[in-house]
Amino acid sequence: MWLSLGRNLKGLLTAACLLAFVVCAVEIGLRVDRYQSALNCQPAVATADLSLEDQLVAPSISTWVELLPSAKVILKNPDTGNLVEFKTNSFGARGPEPAVPKPAGVLRVLCLGDETTLGAELPESDAYPAQLREILTARLGSRVEVINAGIPGNCPRLAALQLRHRLMALQPDLVLLHFDMSDVAEDATVRRFVALDRQGHPALATHPATRKACQLRRPRLSEEFLMVQQVEQQLARIWDREMPSSGETVVDRRQRYRWTDDDPPDLEAEIESAFAPLVSIRQLCDAMRAKLLVSTSPKPWQVSGQASNTPEARAVNGIPKDACWQSTAPYKRLVVACKAGQILYVIPLAAFLDAPQPEQLFLRKSPGLSAQGHEVYAQVLAQTIVGESRQESAADSQIIPSKAEEPAQPEPPAN
Please name which of 111, 39, 91, 69 lies closest in space to residue 290, comparing C-alpha atoms.
111
Lowest mean pLDDT among 9-13, 337-341, 354-358: 9-13
Q: Is residue 288 part of a domain?
A: yes
E strands in 167-306: 174-178, 194-196, 202-205, 291-295
Q: Is residue 97 part of a domain?
A: yes
So what's the pLDDT on residue 163? 98
Q: Is residue 249 part of a domain?
A: no
DSSP run (H or E) holding 142: none
Distance, CA of 188 to CA of 163 (rounded, Å): 20
Q: How confident is the model at residue 238 (pLDDT cuts 50, 70, 90)?
A: very low
Q: How confident is the model at residue 48 (pLDDT cuts 50, 70, 90)?
A: low
Q: Is residue 54 part of a domain?
A: no
- Distance of alpha carbon 329 from its chain centroid, rounded? 23
Q: Is residue 4 part of a domain?
A: no
* Mean pLDDT to the nearest integer, 386-414: 59
Q: Are 58 and 65 in contact (CB under 8 A)?
A: yes
Compute, in degrees rounded to 10, the torsion defined by CA atoms 43, 47, 53, 58.
Answer: -100
So what's the pLDDT on residue 243? 37
Lowest mean pLDDT among 6-20, 150-164, 378-392: 6-20
* Mean pLDDT to the nearest integer, 363-392: 93
Check whether 267 has a pLDDT greater than 70: yes
Output 153 or 212, whichever has higher pLDDT.
153
So what's the pLDDT on residue 12? 72
Q: Are 318 and 245 in contact (CB under 8 A)?
A: yes
Q: Are 77 and 369 in contact (CB under 8 A)?
A: no
Check whether 146 has a pLDDT greater than 80: yes
Q: Is residue 172 part of a domain?
A: yes
pLDDT tens for each residue of 281-302: 999 999 999 999 999 999 999 9
Q: What are phi and psi of 72, to 5 degrees?
A: -145, 130
pLDDT tens for each residue of 341-373: 999 999 999 999 999 999 999 999 999 999 999
So what's the pLDDT on residue 376? 98
- The percentage of the chain sitting over the pLDDT mark of 90, rounded to a whole number, equals 67
- The percentage of the chain sitting over the pLDDT mark of 70, rounded to a whole number, equals 75
Q: Is residue 200 part of a domain?
A: yes
Q: Are 379 and 367 in contact (CB under 8 A)?
A: no
So what's the pLDDT on residue 406? 37
Output 247 or 279, whichever has higher pLDDT.
279
Q: Is residue 325 part of a domain?
A: yes
Check whether 155 has a pLDDT greater than 90: yes
pLDDT tens for each residue of 179-229: 999 999 999 999 999 999 999 999 999 999 887 655 544 455 544 565 555
| Long-range contacts, stretch 69-77, CB < 8 angstroms, 24+ apart | 74/42, 74/43, 74/47, 74/48, 75/51, 75/120, 75/121, 76/43, 76/48, 76/49, 77/121, 77/122, 77/363
Check whether 40 has a pLDDT greater than 50: no
So what's the pLDDT on residue 379? 97
Compute, in degrees rounded to 10, the torsion defined by CA atoms 267, 273, 274, 277.
Answer: 170
What percentage of the chain's residues is helix, strand, coil (to nearest 5)?
A: 45, 15, 40
CB atoms within 10 A of CB 85: 12
Q: Are 301 and 324 in contact (CB under 8 A)?
A: yes
Check whether 154 has a pLDDT greater than 80: yes
* Mean pLDDT to the nearest integer, 76-88: 94
Distance, CA of 167 to CA of 110 (rounded, Å): 9
E strands in 47-179: 57-59, 65-67, 72-76, 83-87, 106-112, 143-148, 174-178
Please name which of 182, 127, 124 lies closest in space to residue 152, comparing C-alpha atoms.
182
Q: Are 197 and 283 in contact (CB under 8 A)?
A: no
| Domain, as residue range, for 94 | 72-214+258-393
CATH number for the domain that contains residue 284 = 3.40.50.1110
Cβ neighbors of 89 (< 8 A, separation 6 or more) are 69, 70, 95, 96, 97, 98
Give the end-to-end CA distance of the chain in Å, rounded to a whole number: 101
Buried (b) or exposed (e) across 357-385, using 16+ Cβ within 10 A?
ebbebbbbebbbbbbebbbbbbbbbbbbb
DSSP run (H or E) holding 132: helix 128-140
Helices and strands of the chain, counted as H and E runs: 13, 12
Check whether 30 has a pLDDT greater than 60: no
Q: What is the 3-state secondary structure (H, E, C) of 155-183?
A: CHHHHHHHHHHHHHHHCCCEEEEECCCCH
- Number of structural domains (the chain) is 1
Q: How confident is the model at residue 244 (pLDDT cuts 50, 70, 90)?
A: very low
Q: At what angle do helices 268-275 and 183-190 cross, to 10 degrees?
A: 90
